[in-house]
């Protein structure tokens, strides 16, 4: 797609998400998501996940993105992908002779007759299994972010009921795909928080001047904007470099952006930033849940450092 076509696509997706925030997945399927993500994955995923962050949608396309990273047909085979418990990217679930000990996080509850994709620790590393949900325990886990129906899935499945899927490198691909998507959503959350701060400090006055005219306020806004630019560049570069380290860097930069925004924007909004009536807390809640997903900031930074040490190669300057 050229620039004009990409702009048209983004406008169309923006209208779709705004109109169907509560039934996003079904609306995207009708829109032709499968063909779109196959032909223009970077534009489709980046745009949709930024819109998810902007509109704080309850549904998310994360399960679809993770499944497609394993296999294009996997998205139709499984109803959801079980995420490791934050902040580790390594699964809590385990596979052995006794069966599959399932423990992880779903983006939404699933039907008892459904099948979920589970990453599990095994003797020879992490394996991916298609596991039936029947008999497993689902409990709500959305206390921090009640606008998205996060669900804890736990229980034991007999070994014979689980089917192996993917190759030895499948989980690394799945994690990298998820981190690229989460980076885009986090960037959008940071952008929304920054916009709230800019609007507030531009319209509120003290000592006869807009709050934004004071140097200390400008420094805080500039700090947030700086990390926003870094996160935006890293998110774009992660699509240009298939190395999982690039996806890790994008996720790390995006989490740094939202952490900086959470701190400074809440302070700049003053008492309003601590009130339930203001929308800021919803963006903070979503950011606090997404930041540690598939690897918290400290975990991801350690991963990046280890990758640099082992390869002897620094990531591209554009991503930095």
Same domain, 114 and 192: no
pLDDT digits (tens, 9 = 90+) for 210-226: 888 899 999 999 999 99
Phi-psi region of 315 (alpha: psi -120 to 50; beta: other; left: phi over 0): beta
Same domain, 202 and 298: yes
Looking up residue 104, the CATH number of its domain turns out to be 2.40.110.10
Please count the residues of the chain. 320
pLDDT digits (tens, 9 = 90+) for 126-141: 999 999 999 999 999 9
Write down which residue in 22, 42, 70 finishes a domain: 70
Residue 247 lies in a domain: yes
What are the tokens at 140? 């709500």
Residue 298 lies in a domain: yes
Write down which residue in 110, 137, 165 finishes a domain: 165
Q: Which of 123, 120, 215 is nearest to 164 (CA)?
A: 120
Structural domain boundaries, residue 133: 80-165
- pLDDT value of position 307: 82
DSSP-derived letter for residue 160 is G
Same domain, 222 and 272: yes
Element (H, E) at 8: helix 3-19
- pLDDT value of position 2: 82
- pLDDT value of position 317: 53
- pLDDT value of position 166: 84
Same domain, 131 and 221: no
Q: Among positive and negative, which fits the CA dihedral 249, 250, 256, 260?
A: positive
- pLDDT value of position 26: 94
Q: Strands (DSSP E) along 253-315, which ranges?
A: none
* Local mean pLDDT, 10-residue blocks, the chain (320 residues): 88 95 94 93 96 97 94 80 95 94 97 95 93 96 95 96 87 95 98 97 88 92 96 93 89 97 95 91 97 95 88 64
Mean pLDDT over each residue of the chain, to the nearest integer: 92
| 301 vs 306: CA distance, rounded Å | 9
Q: Which of 74, 80, 126 is nearest to 105 (CA)?
A: 80
**Total number of domains constituting the chain:** 3
Whole-model pTM above 0.75? Answer: yes
- pLDDT value of position 53: 97
Write down which residue in 70, 103, 129 finishes a domain: 70
Same domain, 87 and 206: no
Residue 17 lies in a domain: yes
Cis peptide before 87 (omega within 30 of 0): yes
| 290 vs 280: CA distance, rounded Å | 16
Instruction: For the beta carbon of residue 242, count every other beta carbon within 10 angstroms.
Output: 10
């Amino acid at each position: 797609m050229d620039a004009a076509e990409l702009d048209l696509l983004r406008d169309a997706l923006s209208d779709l998400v705004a109109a169907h925030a509560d039934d996003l997945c079904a609306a995207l399927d009708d829109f032709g998501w499968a063909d779109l993500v196959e032909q223009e994955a970077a534009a489709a995923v980046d745009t949709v996940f930024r819109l998810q962050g902007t509109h704080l949608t309850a549904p998310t396309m994360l399960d679809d993105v993770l499944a497609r990273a394993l296999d294009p047909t996997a998205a139709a085979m499984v109803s959801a992908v079980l995420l490791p418990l934050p902040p580790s990217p390594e699964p809590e679930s385990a596979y052995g002779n006794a069966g599959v000990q399932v423990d992880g996080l779903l983006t939404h509850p699933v039907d008892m007759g459904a099948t979920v994709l589970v990453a599990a620790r095994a003797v020879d590393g992490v394996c991916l299994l298609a596991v039936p949900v029947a008999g497993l325990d689902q409990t709500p886990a959305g206390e921090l972010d009640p606008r998205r129906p996060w669900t804890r899935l736990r229980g034991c499945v007999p070994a014979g009921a689980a089917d192996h899927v993917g190759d030895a490198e499948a989980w690394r691909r799945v994690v990298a795909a998820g981190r690229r998507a989460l980076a885009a959503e986090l960037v959008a959350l940071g952008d929304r928080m920054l916009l709230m701060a800019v609007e507030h400090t531009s319209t509120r006055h003290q000592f006869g001047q807009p709050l934004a005219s004071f140097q200390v306020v400008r420094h805080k806004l500039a700090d947030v904007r700086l990390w926003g630019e870094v996160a935006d560049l890293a998110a774009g570069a992660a699509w240009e470099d298939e190395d999982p380290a690039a996806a890790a860097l994008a996720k790390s930069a995006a989490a740094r952006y939202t952490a900086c925004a959470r701190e400074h924007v809440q302070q700049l909004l003053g008492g309003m930033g601590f009130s339930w009536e203001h929308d800021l807390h919803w963006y903070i809640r979503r950011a606090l849940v997404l930041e540690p997903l598939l690897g918290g900031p400290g975990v991801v930074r350690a991963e990046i450092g280890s990758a640099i040490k082992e390869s002897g190669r620094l990531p591209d300057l554009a991503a930095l």
